[in-house]
C-alpha cells in the first residue's frame, strides 16, 4: 500500500492570542452565554428554531429533563425510556416528559406533591432551583436547607439576589446557576480523568496526575469556549450516516496527562478521549460517503477480505502528526477523500501552559 506522510511540526511553544470567554474567573456569565455552554454539553436544547427560551419561566417538567441530562447517561435513559415512563405515576405529566420525571423519581432527584400530583406545568421556585444546584455541587448539606438555599446560592456567587427575588425562576437564571456551579467553581482538587470517553470539563483548582509523577494544577479555564478562533462551543458528537458497527472498532486508550517543561514554561497535554471520538466518528461517516470505501451497504474490502480503512486512537511516539485547531470537520473529510485507503492514527489533546488552558489540539497521522 502506498504510504502517505503528513508531517507538520507541533509548535508547542506557539500560543495564539485568544478571546476571553464569558466564564472568566470571578465573572458571572450572562444567561445567553450560560445557555450556550449548557447547550454544548447537551443539557439545554432549544425549540425547532434553536431558541433556548431563556426568558421563559422554568416548569417542573422541564427541570426534570434538565436534571436527567445532567445526571443520567443519555444512551441508558433512551434505551430504558419505557421503564422510566412507567415509574412516573403521575397523571399531570405530559407524555414527552414522563421518562424524565420517572428517572428523577427513581433516583430521588424530584418527588411529587404527596397527593398523587407532580405539577409538571407548575413553575419552579427560586428555592427549588437553588436546592437543585447546591445538591449538584454537593455543597455541605448541613450548611443550608430549603429555606436558606437562595441565600446560600447568592453568597456562593451562583446567582444574583435579583434573580431569586421573585416567585419563579427562568430557564436563563437556572442556566447561570448551573454554569457557576459546574464550571466556575474552585475545582475539586485531584481529579480522575474519565476512561469511558465521556467529556471532561476542566475547572480552576483541578489537579491532574501526570505520567512523569508530577501533579499539574489548572489555574485558568477562561479560554475553554474560545479555542483559537473557534466560532463557538462545539455541538454533540456526530451521528451515524452509515452502519458504524461494520467498520473497524479501535479500543479507547487509557486516560493520560503528559507534563513538559519548555523554555521555562510548564505545559500539560491531557488526552481528550471525547474529542478523539469526534475525529473517529467524522471519519466513519466519511468512509460511508466515499464510493471507494463503501459500497452496497458495507465497507469495501481488499482482495484478501480486509477493510481498506483501519483506525488507531494512539499515534506512535516516533511519528510526527499533522496537527490542527480549532475543530473543523472539513480538515478530516478533505484529507480522507484525497486518498481514502490507509490506517488513520488519531489523537486529541487539551493543552495547558502554566496552568492556563490554551486549546484542544487535533492530531492525525495516515499511512
Q: How far apart are CA 363 and CA 316, in angstroms?
A: 12
pLDDT at position 164 is: 92
Q: How far apart are CA 78 and CA 259, in angstroms?
A: 39
- Cβ neighbours, 10 Å, residue 308: 19
C-alpha distance from residue 100 to each of 29, 61, 86, 174, 245 (Å):
27, 8, 11, 18, 29
What pTM does this model have? 0.53
Cell 454537593 belongs to 138
pLDDT tier for residue 314 given thresholds of 50, 70 and 90: very high
Q: How far apart are CA 324 and CA 315, in angstroms?
A: 15
- Mean per-residue pLDDT, 178-205: 75
pLDDT at position 46 is: 82
C-alpha distance from residue 120 to each of 62, 74, 92, 93 (Å):
8, 21, 6, 5
Helices (DSSP H) in 108-148: which residue ranges? 126-136
Q: Read off the pLDDT of residues 3-55 as tens digits, 9 standing for 90 and up.
A: 333 332 233 222 222 222 333 334 567 888 888 888 888 889 888 888 899 99
pLDDT tier for residue 293 given thresholds of 50, 70 and 90: very high
Q: Read off the pLDDT of residues 67-111 as tens digits, 9 standing for 90 and up.
A: 999 888 888 899 999 999 999 999 999 999 999 999 999 988 888
pLDDT tier for residue 236 given thresholds of 50, 70 and 90: confident
- Cβ neighbours, 10 Å, residue 293: 21
Dig out the grid coordinates for 220 from the structure.
Answer: 485558568
* β-strand pairing of 342-353 with 309-312: parallel
Which position has the higher pLDDT, 298 or 187?
298
356: Cα within 13 Å, side-chain hemisphere:
15
Q: How far apart are CA 69 and CA 86, in angstroms?
A: 19
Question: Is residue 316 predicted with pLDDT exceeding 60?
Answer: yes
pLDDT at position 137 is: 74
- Mean per-residue pLDDT, 147-154: 91
Question: Is residue 186 predicted with pLDDT exceeding 70?
Answer: no
- Mean per-residue pLDDT, 343-367: 95
Which position has the higher pLDDT, 182 or 242?
242
Dig out the grid coordinates for 232 from the structure.
Answer: 463557538
* β-strand pairing of 257-262 with 309-312: unpaired
pLDDT at position 284 is: 98
H/E element holding 105? helix 98-107
Nearest 5°: phi and psi at 359? -170, 165
Q: How far apart are CA 76 and CA 50, in angstroms?
A: 25
Q: Which segment of 8-22, 164-178, 245-259 scores lowest on mean pLDDT?
A: 8-22
Average per-residue pLDDT for the chain: 85
Which position has the higher pLDDT, 142 or 213?
213
- Mean per-residue pLDDT, 131-141: 79
- Mean per-residue pLDDT, 120-135: 91
Which position has the higher pLDDT, 280 or 143?
280
- Mean per-residue pLDDT, 250-269: 95
185 within 8 A of 322, measured Cβ to Cβ: no
Amino acid at each position: 500500500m502506498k504510504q502517505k506522510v503528513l508531517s507538520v511540526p507541533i509548535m508547542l511553544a506557539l500560543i495564539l492570542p485568544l478571546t476571553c470567554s464569558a466564564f472568566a474567573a470571578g465573572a458571572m456569565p450572562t444567561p445567553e452565554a450560560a445557555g450556550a455552554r449548557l447547550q454544548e454539553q447537551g443539557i439545554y436544547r432549544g425549540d425547532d428554531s434553536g431558541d433556548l427560551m431563556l426568558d421563559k419561566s422554568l416548569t417542573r417538567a422541564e427541570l426534570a429533563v434538565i436534571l436527567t441530562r445532567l445526571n443520567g447517561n443519555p444512551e441508558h435513559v433512551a434505551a430504558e425510556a419505557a421503564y422510566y415512563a412507567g415509574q412516573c405515576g403521575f397523571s399531570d405529566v405530559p407524555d414527552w416528559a414522563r421518562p424524565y420525571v420517572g428517572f428523577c423519581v427513581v433516583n430521588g432527584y424530584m418527588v411529587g406533591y404527596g397527593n398523587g400530583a407532580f405539577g409538571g406545568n407548575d413553575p419552579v421556585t427560586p428555592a427549588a432551583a437553588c436546592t437543585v444546584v447546591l445538591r449538584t455541587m454537593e455543597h455541605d448539606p448541613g450548611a443550608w436547607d430549603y429555606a436558606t438555599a437562595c441565600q446560600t446560592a447568592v453568597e456562593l456567587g451562583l446567582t444574583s439576589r435579583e434573580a431569586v427575588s421573585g416567585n419563579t425562576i427562568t430557564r436563563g437564571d437556572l442556566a447561570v446557576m448551573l454554569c457557576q456551579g459546574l464550571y466556575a467553581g474552585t475545582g475539586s482538587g485531584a481529579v480522575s480523568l474519565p476512561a469511558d470517553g465521556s467529556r471532561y470539563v476542566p475547572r480552576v483548582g483541578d489537579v491532574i496526575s501526570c505520567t512523569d509523577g508530577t501533579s499539574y494544577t489548572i489555574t485558568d479555564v477562561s479560554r475553554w469556549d474560545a479555542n483559537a478562533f473557534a466560532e463557538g462551543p462545539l455541538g454533540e458528537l456526530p451521528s451515524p450516516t452509515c452502519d458504524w458497527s461494520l467498520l473497524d472498532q479501535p479500543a479507547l486508550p487509557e486516560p493520560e496527562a503528559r507534563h513538559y517543561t519548555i523554555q521555562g514554561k510548564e505545559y500539560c497535554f491531557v488526552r481528550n478521549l471525547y474529542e478523539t471520538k469526534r475525529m473517529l466518528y467524522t471519519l466513519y461517516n466519511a468512509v460511508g460517503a466515499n464510493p471507494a470505501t463503501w459500497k452496497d451497504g458495507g465497507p469495501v474490502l481488499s482482495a484478501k477480505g480486509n477493510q481498506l480503512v483501519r483506525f488507531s486512537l494512539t499515534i506512535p511516539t516516533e511519528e510526527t502528526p499533522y496537527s490542527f485547531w480549532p475543530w473543523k470537520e472539513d480538515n478530516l473529510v478533505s484529507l480522507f477523500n484525497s486518498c481514502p485507503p490507509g490506517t488513520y492514527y488519531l489523537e486529541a489533546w487539551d493543552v495547558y501552559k502554566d496552568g492556563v488552558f490554551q486549546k484542544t489540539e487535533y492530531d492525525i497521522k495516515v499511512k
